Structure 1
Amino acid sequence: MSLRTLSLRALLLLGLWHTGRRGLASAPELQEQPKKIAVVGAGIGGTAAAFYLRQKFGAGVKIDVFESNIAGGRLATVKIGDYEYETGGSVIHPLNLHMKHFIERLGIPPRMDVGTKMAIFDGKELVFEESNWFIINFLRLLWRYGFNFLRMQMWVESVLDKFMRIYQYQQFGYSFSSVERLLHAMGGDSFLTLMNQTLEETMIGEGFSQLFINDIVAPITRVNYGQSVRINGFVGAVSLAGADSGLWAVDGGNKRVCTGLLYHSKSELINAKVTSISLKVRPSKRGNTASFYEINYVGESGAAHSLYDIVVIATPLHQGKSDITFSGFNPPIPSHYPGRYHQTVATLVHGMLNMSYLGTTEPASEFTVSDILTTDSKGCVINSLSSLDPVHIPDGYKRPPASQTKVWKVFSSNSLTQEQLQNMFLSYDTLFETPWLAYPAYRPPHRKTPPFILHNRLYYLNTVEWAASAMEMSAIAARNVALLAHHRWHEQIRKIDQEDLHTRLRGEL
């Protein structure tokens, strides 16, 4: 830990103690709280938004969360045999402080760690297979790539050190009106630079070898985002952090965080599809007019509508992801923003792996690799192949070797054909396919993202995905939007789009 990081953390703790006594500045008199808030979408972003909105606006406001499917969004599970398995977002970084806070607050334990081994496949054979011995792995990587692997870890840590600044800003109530301003508060111009060049360009500029990028970095971006090293440098750094040690998941499935946040926020879940949002003006008790947002939706009981003071949209407003229309707004709000979402197909197969597919003569009974990553080559029709453990690890559980029938998860860009499945597996009895439009297609240069603020009290959470799509990024955006909504409702603009936190704290101390 650097001295600078230590001093910032000490400053944060002192600031928390001091602001508990008198605050950063005297707050203006607050106006009446909103009566009704709507959140559209019950994934991790929407449910986290409900959680933070409840924190900021108190017990008196009614919060409705609209969801056309089941709560959890891209955090989902499927039951195969006696166990459930993750089909969506599966791992959480140890420095994801919001996700850690959620499970502590909700009383949900982390999943028991089983341990993993990794191999890299080029479409014909395994070009690297991790050993059980750390020193052997280290020497292999050192021999082939020099110190590139250690330097990559140091580079990712330098990015994470800047990333961590957002927690300090949010702890003191700071919020940002755009993704670009939020990124600048984290990492200054360096993060905006990362958004405008590819990960490959960034790493070559940092002195990494092309061989290392092709053999190690590309497989990581393929498994995490289904895309090559030509994604932007910021999401690339997030992807490489997702290959770090200490990754964890939630016992019983990561979707439990979403249902837990809904319950904890005392929100009402409305199982309905939102079709349109309109701006409505009504006379108020004081004789003037007040504006509201009318949400039109269709549920099991048919079409209905309701008025809200504040609306948070927590679903992507992009082609193929949403068909919500907006009316009565000037300037108009588009139903679809530019850009497209990248398709990744998750195929869960309960079967026996064909070792010859991997081009190895290693006996299946001795093959205990859990994660097979792939290089960006023409011979690879898959992005990854992983041995799955249940979302709840029973007592005495031990991951079976490849000689036994078990559940595998295959990531690919397209649905697997019968021939491809027969090449990969000697036999299988269960297959479950989920096509995800899981994250944007990341292609620099960075185009300006949609704003967090679509209208006076209408907010868009999922714009953050165009910087990087991850559970923690959605949680950060959720807290940012809740803070924005609160500050703008109470006209506390001094905490919006400001980067003077540490200057103000030093002045307070």
Structure 2
Amino acid sequence: MFSRTSRVVVASVAGLICTTYFLLPGHASILGPGGQQPFVLTDQEPQVVKRVAVIGAGAAGSSAAYFLKEYAEKHDYRVNITIYERNNYIGGRTTTVDAYDDPEEPVELGGSIFVEVNKNMFDAAKLFGLPIAEFNTGSTDGAAELGVWDGKQFVITIDGGGLWETIKLVWRYGLSPLRTQNLVKKTVGNFLKMYEAPVFPWKSLSTTAYELELLPATTNTGFEFLKANNINPPFTTELIQASTRVNYASNLGHIHGLETMVAMSTDGAMAITGGNWRIFDKMVQTSKAGLHLETRVTNIERVQGKHTWTVNALKLEGGVEIQSFEDEYDEVIIATPWQFSNITSQSIPAPEEIKYVNLHVTLFASPYRLSPKYFNSDEDLVPDMILTTIPEGFDPHYRTVGPAKFWSVNILRTLDRKLENGVKRREYLYKIFSPEPWSDEQIHEMMGLPKDTKNALSWSHRKLWQAYPAEEPRSAFQEAQLDFGVWYTAGMEAFISCMETMSLSGKNVAANIVEGWVSARRSEEVPGQHDKLV
């Protein structure tokens, strides 16, 4: 879900890599023709008031609230939504920090980019009038755009998408890029059916994956899936593996084939000026939900003799618990990974616990570029974006980071920093992904500077994320409905983990909830009628 910096890999193969991403058509019966529509209140007084709790204000929770409001109003329900979020901000793993503590210089710390065919996010950005800044794939100072480093040497460098670069890539990789493009299109083509009636809204993710013939991708590693489709090294172990490492901190022998296709499916990268979290913030505002920030849900239990649920929560202030309270709801949407929530319940079965990847993100600004000597390069400048792979001869199922010791390092942009004397100094803003903390001393070493060099780093920020699941091959996935009236969005993450698919997971839950309400109302009006809304 995380950075999608493989945009440069895709762009730099001069159109040979697939440019299709996730087109997410709406459910015909709930959305009506044309997909997402503006909210419309009917003149008729809503017949029912439904109370819904959403636990988590990340991509899934914000989207669940947003689409729940839309669907409920379209079908003449008044809905009272309450969102609980333990952090003091909306967006979950989509958040920014300010370089130099300057609000004019926000930097994405989590989910960094999306593409135009990420329909939920792109449509919401347009609807809310949020400014979209397309990513510049050019380089700085005349350096190459992209290099793939194996811890010893650059196995490939790419400088733009000109004819010479295309010839070089075709000479090195043959038909593998074209075969990858075709495989991505085929796999994503099957995946797209997941967002069309009669599949959407889906009840069982496992059944849907089987019916859409996606299990060959999810049950095999990326290496196996590619090999079965006649896509082989060095293309797989260099460019494709570099992409899975930067996007999911995983080698091809570890990550499943479907997520491998996702890692190679980015094109037309863009971001919201000021941070992608603004999309989810607007979704929450538009849902008109009650919002409890810095509030941790502690317990969920069924109300005895009723089809409702109590949610117990603690209000926090600076991390200190200051107040406990509870409320009752018709539906509860758990929009955060259960294993990190510390929620208890005697009434609902706990969702499956899956392994998440610890990803260390290091942001820093410096007037210095990275040192060619550190990377054993004879060039005057190293590429702006350095992805990594493991050296030739390593087992393709090797699970750790390898000799490179980090997943990626890249220059995000250049900054003009104002010094105390009023003079502006040009600096580079960097981002490093690594499996372990990356120290100032290691940064100095990367730049070829003595460890005691003063002012080499003018600003830095570090964050440890449980960024995404390990995405190991599997055939079954956690279902969205845990119990009558209790829903879970994070099962999607073991299938595909990114901002858009988590938004889709929230949207799917919202559609299922309203479909259930409408079905129940129809069955009351016409006994025995439980038709699906298609």
Residue identity over aligned pairs, in percent, reads 26
CA distance in 1, matches of 2:499, 2:519: 30
CA distance in 1, matches of 2:369, 2:48: 58
1:154 matched residue in structure 2: 182
Match of 1:296 among 305, 312, 333: 312
Contact map agreement 1:311 1:459 (CA 8 A) in 2: yes
AA aligned to 1:370 is D
1:65 aligns with 2:100: no
Write out aligned runs for 1:222-371 (5 A). 222-229=245-252, 230-241=254-265, 244-271=266-293, 272-281=295-304, 290-300=306-316, 301-318=322-339, 321-327=340-346, 329=347, 332-334=348-350, 337-351=352-366, 352-355=368-371, 356-364=373-381, 369-371=383-385
- Cα deviation, residue 115, structure 1: 2.1
Extract unaligned runs of 5+ from structure 2: 1-24, 36-44, 139-144, 317-321, 392-401, 417-424, 450-455, 521-529
SS at match of 1:389: strand
SS at match of 2:332: strand
2:93 matched residue in structure 1: 74
1:96 aligns with 2:96: no
AA aligned to 2:176 is N
Extract unaligned runs of 5+ from structure 1: 1-8, 20-29, 282-288, 395-402, 502-509
CA distance in 1, matches of 2:362, 2:164: 33
AA aligned to 1:358 is F
2:169 matched residue in structure 1: 141
CA distance in 2, matches of 1:255, 1:232: 28
AA aligned to 2:329 is Y
1:409 matched residue in structure 2: 431
Residues 135-180 of structure 1 deviation map (CA, whole Å, 9 limit, x = unaligned): 12211111111121122122212222222223323xx793222221
1:374 matched residue in structure 2: 388
With normalisation by structure 1, the TM-score equals 0.81
Match of 2:467 among 421, 424, 438: 438
1:490 matched residue in structure 2: 518
Residues 102-135 of structure 1 deviation map (CA, whole Å, 9 limit, x = unaligned): 1112111211432242221111232222123421
Residues 325-348 of structure 1 deviation map (CA, whole Å, 9 limit, x = unaligned): 112x2xx412x6232111111100
Task: Kindly indicate which of the two structures has a greater share of residues assigned to helix.
Answer: 1
CA distance in 1, matches of 2:187, 2:362: 33
With normalisation by structure 2, the TM-score equals 0.78
Match of 1:387 among 411, 415, 419: 411
Contact map agreement 1:120 1:372 (CA 8 A) in 2: yes
1:179 aligns with 2:205: yes
SS at match of 1:210: coil
Question: Per the alignment, do residues 353 and 52 of structure 1 end up closer, same or farther by CA in structure 2, a change over 3 Å counting?
Answer: same
Contact map agreement 2:216 2:225 (CA 8 A) in 1: no
SS at match of 1:291: coil
CA distance in 2, matches of 1:494, 1:192: 29
SS at match of 1:160: helix
Match of 2:70 among 41, 45, 55: 55
User: How many residues are treated as equivalent by the alignment?
Assistant: 443
CA distance in 2, matches of 1:232, 1:417: 31
Contact map agreement 1:275 1:296 (CA 8 A) in 2: yes
Larger displacement relative to structure 2 (436-445 or 255-264): 436-445
Contact map agreement 1:34 1:309 (CA 8 A) in 2: no
Larger displacement relative to structure 2 (151-160 or 249-258): 151-160
Question: Per the alignment, do residues 423 and 311 of structure 1 end up closer, same or farther by CA in structure 2, a change over 3 Å counting?
Answer: same
SS at match of 1:264: helix
AA aligned to 1:347 is T
SS at match of 2:386: strand
CA distance in 1, matches of 2:199, 2:230: 38
- Cα deviation, residue 191, structure 1: 0.3
CA distance in 2, matches of 1:182, 1:389: 41
- Cα deviation, residue 57, structure 1: 1.4
- Cα deviation, residue 200, structure 1: 0.5
Larger displacement relative to structure 2 (103-112 or 229-238): 103-112
CA distance in 1, matches of 2:230, 2:199: 38
Contact map agreement 1:175 1:495 (CA 8 A) in 2: no
1:109 aligns with 2:138: no
1:459 matched residue in structure 2: 487
Question: Per the alignment, do residues 99 and 181 of structure 1 end up closer, same or farther by CA in structure 2, a change over 3 Å counting?
Answer: farther
Match of 2:217 among 166, 189, 194: 194
CA distance in 1, matches of 2:200, 2:221: 30
CA RMSD of aligned residues (A): 2.7
Contact map agreement 1:112 1:251 (CA 8 A) in 2: no
Residues 59-101 of structure 1 deviation map (CA, whole Å, 9 limit, x = unaligned): 7221111101011100011111241101101121332111111
CA distance in 2, matches of 1:269, 1:459: 19
